Amino acid sequence: MHFLKEEIGSLQHLQILLVGAGETIDLLLPYLQQSVMPPLRLVNRSFDKGNALAKTHGALSFSWAELPSLLGQVDIVITATGSPKPIITAKMVQDAMSSRAHHPLYLVDLAVPRDVDPMSVEVPDVSLYCIDDLTKVVAKHREGREHAASKARDLIQKASEAFMQELASSEHVSHTIRSYRKNIEELCQRELEKAYQQLALGADAEVVLNLFARALTNKLLHSPSVMLRQAGREGRLELLHFAKQLFAVSE
């Protein structure tokens, strides 16, 4: 229901009515319980089935005959039944809105075929969302995540290439430097693979970049740090002097 939060803000103090008692409503109830303060209301054609589901999640159950009056009492209606034709007509919505004094009503129709008459949207202060609308929202969010992941991959690739270029040397590169370069490439590749896996799981691109940089830095500094500490303990100060030159460390 993130699209509703984007549309109307917090759901915390809004009255919500759920219509149906199938798998969709069962999945929605725990999520909504965490987002709202007032008790959720549930109505189902079979009162016994609806009442059993409502009790499981701490919601209030109502009879099917009370549906028209409930429309005038709530802020959001979410429907997901198996009805072959609309169960909420435009007239029901019109009647419900006649006593609401311009208080908006949001109808979220998750059923196929539709539970809510499409003409309901013609009633003033009524917003209607169906499966097609939700599909567009999901596609928009997926596109945004894919764009961020692609951008992060490009940044990581450029950062790793730039790092490797700094290690490149002339054709007189010694065996020691070539070996060190190979070690660095392997370290970098392992960290890149971890970063790509995190991006594929939908992790935030900025967080992934920071983790990649921190992990690679720690791996690169580990062995030199160990050797320098050992040289310090053994009094091999000439190695410390050469290390400062090698790493361009200022006095």
pLDDT along the chain (251 residues), means of 10: 58 89 91 85 96 94 96 93 94 90 88 92 90 64 63 69 58 67 85 86 85 84 82 80 74 63
Q: Which residues contact 37 (CB under 8 A, 6 or more apart)?
A: 12, 13
What is the pLDDT, as a whole number, of residue 5?
55
Q: How far apart are CA 248 and CA 251, in angstroms?
A: 9
Nearest one of 8, 10, 74, 4 to 36, comparing CA atoms: 10
Q: Which residues contact 58 (CB under 8 A, 6 or more apart)?
A: 33, 39, 40
C-beta separation of 28 from 18 below 8 A: yes
What is the pLDDT, as a whole number, of residue 186?
87
Q: How far apart are CA 187 and CA 172, in angstroms?
A: 24
What is the pLDDT, as a whole number, of residue 162?
64
* Residues β-bridged to residue 225: none
In the chain, the domains with their CATH numbers are 2-129 (3.40.50.720), 144-246 (no CATH)
C-beta separation of 77 from 109 below 8 A: no
Torsion on CA atoms 203, 206, 209, 210, rounded to nearest 10:
-110
What is the pLDDT, as a whole number, of residue 86?
94
